[in-house]
Every structure is written in structure tokens, then in C-alpha cells.
Amino acid sequence: MKKKVLWFAFAGFIGLAVNCNTAKSASTPDAPMDSKPIERSDKPMEQAPPSDPPSRRGIRELRTLSGHVGEVYAVAYSPDGKQIVSGSGDETLKIWDAGTGRSLHTLTGHTGGVTSVAYSPDGRRIVSGSYDKAVILWDAETGHALRSFIGHAAPVYAVAYSPDGRRIVSGSHDETLRIWDAETGKTVRTLPAYDSEVNSADYSPDGQRIISGGISGVLKIWDAETGREARAMLGHTEFINTVVYNAEGSQITAGFKDGSIRIWDANTGSERTALAGHSEAVYSLAYSPDGKRIVSGSADKTVKIWEPGQSKYAVTVLFGHEGGITSVAYSPDGKRIVSGSFDKTLKIWGEE
């Protein structure tokens, strides 16, 4: 399953992580990753074109989902694409009908803003992280809280399911990641991030690796079974807000505080390309199911679609939100995009 995450500073809080789920293939990177020193990228960023391209291929706003009374921090599609879950600064999650936009359930239980959400691979569970330092597991059908995972000493900004659904990883500003048993809620392993609050985390499609990023600007790849750090990559001096694997597990993409997006080879750690276009921080990223496109959400109030194989610049720019875009996710069939914003709404985008 794919997740995506973000960090930002806004109105008295210091960070936010967003997770979203879209379908991924289970192909495995061929090359083993031995522990290596930090690798630095010195590639300069190219300047974006003087003006944004218009929306292409008929992609437009299809629906606005209103109901939260706080900023929307996290969005995720269910694996079957029929529902959307959102997390908000109003301390609730909402489950929505993806087709009609109708609110189905409001989930209460957190005592702080909900920063991150993810569906289990089978769609039966939802996991969330919060400023209240807790991770909560929910029944996706009824909206009832099933159990709380307690252990972090600071707000939780990232949650993600392993592809087999047996594990959950969470990232916190206590400078750790925790791997939990999804059924019992017990901590399986604690991964020390040492000098960096964790803003984002993602499982590789084969479940063998975990990628994390944070305030230090260092991307770290971990062995999901042993918890050993396999590789560290310093691609930027800016905060990392969001990191995601592509569907094949061959690429890692990160979004940064300065508005840049960078793509690395997941096997070698070498930087492949840098994407230019956002004028403010990139908070959220998601790959399309076929891996050909990336969608990004930014503090500059735009949603942008990229085709890295064709261009280093956005091919589509979507306007409509009145606040910064905190979270984005592709539907499992790749035909829709959902975005969440500081303006307290979700928007669904697509072709019709």
C-alpha cells in the first residue's frame, strides 16, 4: 500500500504527517542494500517555466466535501476506491462515500488533531496518528475504535500499513519510528532516528523496507524485519515533508519545505531527477497506480500533476482550494484524485 506524508509549521503546531493508500504492485528491488554513509546530492534545481500550464486532459474539480470544522490534514482512498477517509485538526476522522461525497461516519477518540490516516490492505481497518501521541485502529465499516497503540513520547505525524497488513509503522517527533503488531497493538520494534523528528514514512511494496524523512533533511531506508538502517541519503538541506515509494519500489520521491521534489533510485541511492514548479512547501505526494504520474499538494494552494518520464515540469495544475494543500491521494483505478486543505474541505478531481 502506498502512503504519503508531510510536515509544516502552522498556527501554533510544528508539524503534520499525512498518509494515504493506493494500490501498489509487489515487485522487489533486485539489488540488496548494505549500510552506507550518507550520500549527498549536489544537483542544482532548475527554474520552473514562467507560468503554470493550464489543466490538461479535461481534469477538473468534480466535488467538494465539507463537514470538518478544522483544517483537513490527511486523506486516503479505500483499497476498493468506494470510500475516502480524512483526518482533521478538529480531532476527528470522517469516512466519505467517494462517489456521492456524502459523510458516512465521524470517528471520535483522539484528543488532538489527526495528522495521518491509512487504510489496511483489505480495507477493513483504518489507522490514524495524532498530536495526542497516540495511534488508533478503527473498524472501517462501523467507525468504532478498536484499540490504541501507546508508546510515542511526542506527536505522531506518520502512519502506514505494511503490504501484508500485519504491521503498522508510525513516525513521531520523539525521533523514533515504531513498528506495531496490527492485531495486538504491541510494539514489535523501535527504530531510533537519532537527530531528526520523523515527518513521514512509507513501506516498500514488498514490505522489506521502510523509508523515512524528517527535519534533518536525511532520507533513511530501514530493514523492516530487523530495524537496521540500510541506507541514508542527504538530498537537500531543507526539511523533508513527505516521502513515497513508487508502485514497483524502484523509486523514492520526496517533497521539501522549499517547494522542490526530488526522485532517487531506491536500489542505488542516486538521484534521478528534480522537479521544479511549486513556489512554497510541498506537503504531500502520491504516485498514480501505474507509476507514470505523481500528484503533489503544496502550501501554494495548488495541486500539480507530473509525468517525470516526460518533463521536469508539471503537466497539469489544479486550482480551487482557498488554503494550502496538506494531502493528496490517487484513487486505486487512477481516475480520481482527492485533496485536503487548510480551508477545511476535501476536493475530488477527475475527468468527466
Q: What is the pLDDT of residue 53?
A: 53
Q: Three-class SS string for 242-283?
A: EEEECCCCCEEEEEECCCCEEEEECCCCCEEEEECCCCCCEE
- Residue 88 to residue 62: CA distance in whole angstroms: 22
pLDDT in tens, 40-78: 444 444 444 445 554 445 899 999 999 999 999 999 999
- Residue 196 to residue 218: CA distance in whole angstroms: 8
Average pLDDT over residues 158-172: 98
Q: Is the pLDDT of residue 280 over 60?
A: yes
pLDDT in tens, 322-333: 999 999 999 999
Q: Is the pLDDT of residue 125 over 90?
A: yes
List residues bridging with 74 in a β-sheet.
87
- The average confidence (pLDDT) of the chain is 87
CA dihedral 62, 70, 7, 340 (to 10 degrees): -10
Q: Is the pLDDT of residue 8 over 80?
A: no
- Residue 266 to residue 28: CA distance in whole angstroms: 11
How many CA atoms are closer than 13 Å to the CA of 138, on its beta-carbon side?
Answer: 28
- Which of 92-101, 131-140, 236-245 shows the lowest per-residue confidence on average (mean pLDDT)? 236-245
The CA radius of gyration of the chain, in Å to the nearest whole number, is: 18
Confidence of residue 118 (pLDDT cuts 50, 70, 90): very high
Closest by CA to 171, choosing from 339, 15, 2, 327, is 15
Task: Measure Cα distances from 231 to 1, 99, 204, 218, 348 in Å.
Answer: 22, 41, 14, 10, 37
Share above pLDDT 70 across residues of the chain, in percent, rounded to a whole number = 83
- Residue 103 to residue 197: CA distance in whole angstroms: 34
Extract the C-alpha cell encoding 184. 495486538
Q: Classify residue 80 as exposed, middle or buried by CB count within 10 Å of its CB (0-12, 13-18, 19+).
A: middle
Q: What is the pLDDT of residue 65?
A: 98
Q: What angle do CA 322, 327, 329 make, to 5 degrees?
A: 120
Q: What is the pLDDT of residue 196?
A: 83
The CATH homologous superfamily for domain 64-340 is YVTN repeat-like/Quinoprotein amine dehydrogenase (2.130.10.10)
CB proximity list for 44: less than 8 A, separation 6 or greater:
none
